[in-house]
């Protein structure tokens, strides 16, 4: 049965979901007895997901928290299950043992993170794209004592030679391991963790083994960024939010946490399917969608008829949002895109509003409150407005280094992102590409993103990736990998002529390869 039909069957678009949808924008007062408990929740668990979930349960106990293929959970039910699960896990992992989570987007991922972060154990969010050997290398570095994973990854975990304890999260049918469903029925006890948990997020790892990024979190660091987000992105408490990116990714995880804090019904899909997402937005009257750029393209391709009338906000991030895609999406769906920029190490740093994007397509906006942006040259000095340098950020999340050792470069309290960019006269940031993606061809600096955007806007091109390859004569040269649009017969010379007519000759790709698909990570980034 399709997800939307199951939701209608299980919840009525029944009593709970209908209440959640009608409750749009309602900011419930907290009863005095519950308000007194809020500070104690924070002191017990610290600045971790468990605190956010517990506070939401105090404030919005009967509001729908999660909607997935198995129906709905209210905030009170989610908190009760997380508390029972934490009690069970405490006997299955030592106080200093790390908990790994390898799950797709569904309720069990959320329960696992809320439960483990109650205990003071570090929680490592693992990429569902990992091969067995790659998972083995990451597990050897992060050393999880307990791995909570979906049953579909049994073979991957076996191939990784993982020797710790295993618990199944999502499973259809029987299996060899305990399940979160069984453990969540444990009568809850109040944990007293010796320290606060840390959630460790993996970098994208498009060019190597992902690194684990650690952060030092505090209310003082998080509140200004959250306030800035509230002022620029009109997400409303109680209005359903669809989260497309993987929850283990910084974008998906950030909005999972923000959605829980707002008391928002979160709509989750184990796999992104554009048609089903559009149906869910329409049927549940969802107001907010979180997506990466490739998802916006899929939604554009799947749109057949009027856009969902309820959709007010689309938050896009995770990789470059090219101007042609941004404009095409807003032409079809309205001026709803808010483009956010950040990194696993630094969290979100800038936000571009729909007005910013209409005025200057391609911008990632202005810094959030409490965040500083520096565009620095190789000597660490600020470059003039409009000139390109490396992007450094400070404030917001405080990057505490990688779990395997090492850190990002720091200058004057600002952390290097590895991205190159510039700011315009109004202080809006533009990302020109990764520092290691820029190529020098015949003495000229070339940013593949500019060429990629131009080719991507060609009507006969469905997808394109542009990068540098070695060249004996010029040092490096540009190569384009192109997926033709359905029915298109565009040739290599056609595309070279198209670039030549718009850009300098040295930016014309020397090679154009036509491919059936582009290999992408689960967050939509092309695997270079």
- What three-state secondary structure class fits 196? coil
What are 297-301's contacts with CB under 8 Å, separation 24+? 297/325, 297/463, 298/272, 298/274, 299/274, 299/329, 299/333, 300/325, 300/328, 300/329, 300/332, 301/274
Which contiguous run of DSSP H or E holds residue 388? none
- pLDDT given for residue 14 in this prediction: 38
When pLDDT is averaged across residues 177-205 and rounded to a whole number, the result is 87
What 3-state DSSP class applies to 61?
Answer: coil
- Closest CA relative to residue 66, chosen from 55, 84, 79: 79
H-assigned helices in 273-315: 274-284, 293-302
Partners of 208 in beta bridges: none
Q: How many CB atoms lie within 10 A of CB 194?
A: 8
Question: What percent of the chain lies above the pLDDT cut of 70?
Answer: 87
In angstroms, the CA 360 to CA 357 distance is 5
| CA distances, 70 to each of 3, 73, 145, 184, 494 (Å) | 8, 9, 29, 16, 49
Dihedral (CA of 89, 92, 96, 100) sign: negative
Domains with residue ranges and CATH for the chain: 28-216 (3.40.50.980), 219-434 (3.40.50.12780), 440-514 (3.30.300.30)
Beta strands in 294-388 (DSSP E): 313-316, 337-343, 347-352, 363-367, 372-376
pLDDT in tens, 351-385: 999 999 999 999 999 998 878 899 999 899 999 99
Judge contact between 245 and 292, C-beta under 8 A: yes
307 DSSP 8-state letter? P
What is the predicted pLDDT for the residue at 190? 82
The crossing angle, in degrees rounded to 10, of helices 323-333 and 448-456 is: 40
pLDDT score recorded for residue 145:
95
pLDDT per residue over 214-242, tens digit each? Answer: 766 666 666 666 777 788 899 999 999 99
In DSSP notation, 460-504 reads: TEEEEEEEEEEETTTEEEEEEEEEEPTT----HHHHHHHHHTTS-
61-99 pLDDT, tens per residue? 999 999 999 999 999 999 999 999 999 999 999 888 999
CA neighbor of 391 nearest in space, from 364, 370, 355, 369: 364
Confidence of residue 207 (pLDDT cuts 50, 70, 90): low
């Amino acid at each position: 049965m399709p997800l939307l039909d199951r939701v209608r069957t299980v919840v009525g678009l029944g009593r709970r979901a209908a209440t959640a949808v009608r409750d749009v924008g309602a900011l419930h007062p907290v009863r005095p007895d519950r308000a007194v408990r809020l500070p104690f929740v924070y002191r017990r668990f610290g600045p971790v997901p468990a605190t956010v979930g517990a506070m939401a349960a105090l404030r919005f106990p009967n509001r729908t928290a999660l909607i997935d293929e198995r129906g709905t959970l209210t905030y009170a039910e989610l908190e009760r299950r997380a508390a029972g699960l934490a009690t069970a896990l405490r006997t299955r992992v030592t106080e200093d043992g790390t908990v790994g989570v390898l799950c797709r987007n569904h309720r069990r991922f959320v329960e696992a993170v809320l439960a483990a972060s109650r205990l003071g154990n570090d929680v490592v969010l693992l990429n569902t794209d990992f091969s067995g050997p790659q998972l083995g290398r990451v597990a050897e570095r992060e050393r999880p004592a307990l791995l909570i994973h979906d049953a579909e990854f049994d073979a991957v975990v076996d191939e990784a030679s993982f020797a710790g304890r295993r618990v199944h999260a999502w499973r259809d049918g029987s299996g060899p391991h305990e399940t979160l469903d069984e453990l969540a029925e444990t009568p809850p006890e109040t944990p007293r963790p010796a320290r606060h948990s840390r959630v460790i997020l993996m970098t994208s790892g498009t060019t190597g083994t992902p690194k684990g990024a650690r952060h030092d979190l505090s209310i003082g660091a998080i509140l200004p960024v959250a306030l800035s987000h509230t002022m620029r992105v009109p997400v409303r408490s109680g209005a359903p939010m669809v989260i497309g990116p993987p929850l283990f990714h910084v974008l998906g995880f950030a909005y999972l946490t923000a959605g829980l804090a707002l008391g928002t019904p979160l709509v989750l899909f184990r796999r992104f399917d554009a048609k089903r997402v559009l149906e869910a937005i329409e049927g549940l009257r969802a107001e907010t969608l979180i997506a990466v750029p490739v998802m916006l393209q899929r939604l554009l391709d799947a749109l057949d008829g009027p856009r969902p009338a309820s959709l007010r906000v689309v938050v896009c991030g995770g990789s470059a949002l090219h101007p042609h895609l941004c404009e095409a999406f807003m032409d079809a769906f309205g001026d709803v895109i808010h483009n956010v920029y950040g990194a696993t190490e630094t969290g979100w740093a800038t936000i571009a509003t729909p007005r910013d994007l209409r005025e200057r397509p391609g911008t990632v906006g202005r810094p959030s409150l409490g965040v500083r942006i520096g565009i620095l040259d190789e000597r660490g000095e600020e470059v003039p407005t409009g000139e390109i340098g490396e992007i450094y950020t400070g404030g917001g999340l405080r990057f505490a280094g990688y779990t395997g050792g090492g850190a990002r470069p720091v200058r004057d309290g600002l952390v290097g992102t590895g991205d190159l960019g510039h700011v315009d006269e109004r202080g809006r940031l533009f990302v020109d590409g990764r520092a290691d993606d820029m190529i020098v061809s015949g003495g000229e600096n070339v940013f593949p993103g500019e060429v990629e955007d131009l080719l991507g806007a060609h009507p006969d091109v469905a997808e394109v990736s542009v990068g540098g390859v070695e060249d004996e004569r010029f040092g490096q040269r540009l190569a384009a990998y192109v997926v033709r649009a359905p029915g298109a017969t565009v040739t290599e010379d056609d595309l070279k002529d198209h670039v030549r007519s718009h850009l300098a000759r040295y930016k014309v790709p020397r090679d154009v390869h036509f491919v059936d698909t582009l290999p992408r990570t689960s967050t939509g980034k092309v695997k270079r």
